[in-house]
Structure 1
Amino acid sequence: MLRFNSISTGLIVAVVIISGCLVGNVNPQSRLGRIFRQFVIDVSGKSIDDPRWLQIANSNNKIQDTIPESVKFPCTDKSLFKSKTKPTSVHTLRPGDIDLIGALGDSLTVANGAGASNVLQIITENRGVSWSIGGKGNWRKFLTLPNIIKEFNPKLVGFAKGDSLSYSRSSQFNVAETGAFSMDLPFMVRELVKRIKQDPRVDLQNDWKLITIMMGANDFCFNICYYSDPLSALDEHKKELNYTLTYLMKHLPRTMINLVPAPDVEIIKAYTNISPICTLTHRIFCPCFHNDVIKSSWPQFREVIKRWRQFHLEIPDAPEFSREDFAVVSQPFSMDIKFMDRLGNTDYAYLSTDCFHFSQKGHARAANGLWKNMMEPVGNKSTNWPKLFDKISCPTPSNPYIFTRKNSGNAENFYGNSENNVYKRNAVRNL
Structure 2
Amino acid sequence: MKKQFVAIFLAFCFVPKFRCSDEKYHNDESAETRWNRYAEFLRFYGGGDAISSGIDPKDFTHPGLSENQPNAPIPPPPALPGLPDLNITAPKFFCFNYNLTSINFTCDHLERSNPRPTSVHRLRPSDIDVIAAMGDSITAGNGAGADCLLEVIIMGRDLTFSIGGRASLEDGALTLANILRTYNPNITGYSLGSGPASSIEKARLNVAIPGARSRDMLDQAEVLIGRMKNMTDVDYDNDWKMVTLFIGGNDLCACSDISAKEFANNIKEALDLMHSEMPRTFVNVVQVILVTEINKLTTPDCHLAHGIYCPCAKEFYNTDWKDVFELTKAYHRAVEDMILYGQFDTRDDFTVVIQPFFEETYIRENDHNILSPDCFHLSEFGHQISAMSLWNNLIEPAGQKRKAWNYGDVVECPGKPGKRNCKR
TM-score normalised by the chain length of structure 1: 0.74
What percent identity do the matched residue pairs reach?
A: 35
SS at match of 1:328: strand
1:117 alignment counterpart: 147
- Of 56, 59, 67, 2:102 maps to 67
Q: 1:114 Cα deviation (Å)?
A: 1.0
Contact 1:101–1:159 under 8 Å retained in 2: yes
Contact 2:161–2:174 under 8 Å retained in 1: yes
Gap regions ≥5 residues in structure 2: 1-6, 13-39, 52-92
Q: 1:38 Cα deviation (Å)?
A: 5.4
- Of 96, 113, 119, 2:126 maps to 96
Contact 1:368–1:386 under 8 Å retained in 2: no
1:26-425 equivalent positions in 2, closer than 5 A: 39-40=44-45, 65-67=100-102, 71=104, 73-76=105-108, 78=109, 80-140=110-170, 141-168=172-199, 169-221=201-253, 223=254, 225-226=255-256, 230=257, 232-271=258-297, 274-290=298-314, 295-296=319-320, 298-322=321-345, 323-340=347-364, 345-387=365-407, 390-396=409-415, 417-423=416-422
Question: What is the root-mean-square deviation of aligned Cα atoms in Å?
Answer: 2.9
Q: 1:395 Cα deviation (Å)?
A: 2.5
Counterpart amino acid of residue 334 in structure 1: F
Between the aligned partners of 2:42 and 2:344, the Cα distance in structure 1 is 37
Structure with more of its chain in helix, by fraction: 1
Contact 2:412–2:420 under 8 Å retained in 1: no
Between the aligned partners of 1:87 and 1:108, the Cα distance in structure 2 is 33
Sort the Cα spacing of 1:37 and 1:211 in 2 relative to 1 into closer, same or farther, 3 A.
Answer: farther
Q: 1:336 Cα deviation (Å)?
A: 1.7
Contact 2:370–2:379 under 8 Å retained in 1: yes
SS at match of 2:193: coil
CA displacement 1:326-361 (0-9 Å, x = unmatched): 111111111122333xxxx43211111011111101
Q: Which moved more, 1:377-386 or 1:298-307?
A: 298-307
Sort the Cα spacing of 1:42 and 1:387 in 2 relative to 1 into closer, same or farther, 3 A.
Answer: farther
CA displacement 1:189-232 (0-9 Å, x = unmatched): 100111001111111111000000111001111x2x23xxx2x5
Between the aligned partners of 1:319 and 1:267, the Cα distance in structure 2 is 32
TM-score normalised by the chain length of structure 2: 0.75
CA displacement 1:352-397 (0-9 Å, x = unmatched): 1011111101100000000000010000001111436x4222223x
Contact 2:292–2:314 under 8 Å retained in 1: no
Between the aligned partners of 1:302 and 1:197, the Cα distance in structure 2 is 40
Between the aligned partners of 2:205 and 2:122, the Cα distance in structure 1 is 24
Q: 1:162 Cα deviation (Å)?
A: 1.5
Counterpart amino acid of residue 129 in structure 1: L
Large movers: runs of 4+ above 4 Å: 35-38, 59-64, 291-294
Q: 1:183 Cα deviation (Å)?
A: 1.4
2:19 alignment counterpart: none
SS at match of 1:348: coil
Counterpart amino acid of residue 379 in structure 2: S
Contact 1:81–1:395 under 8 Å retained in 2: no
2:22 alignment counterpart: none
Contact 1:257–1:329 under 8 Å retained in 2: yes
Between the aligned partners of 2:265 and 2:359, the Cα distance in structure 1 is 22
Contact 1:375–1:418 under 8 Å retained in 2: no
Sort the Cα spacing of 1:332 and 1:82 in 2 relative to 1 into closer, same or farther, 3 A.
Answer: same
Q: Which moved more, 1:211-220 or 1:307-316?
A: 307-316
Between the aligned partners of 2:367 and 2:420, the Cα distance in structure 1 is 22
Contact 1:316–1:327 under 8 Å retained in 2: no
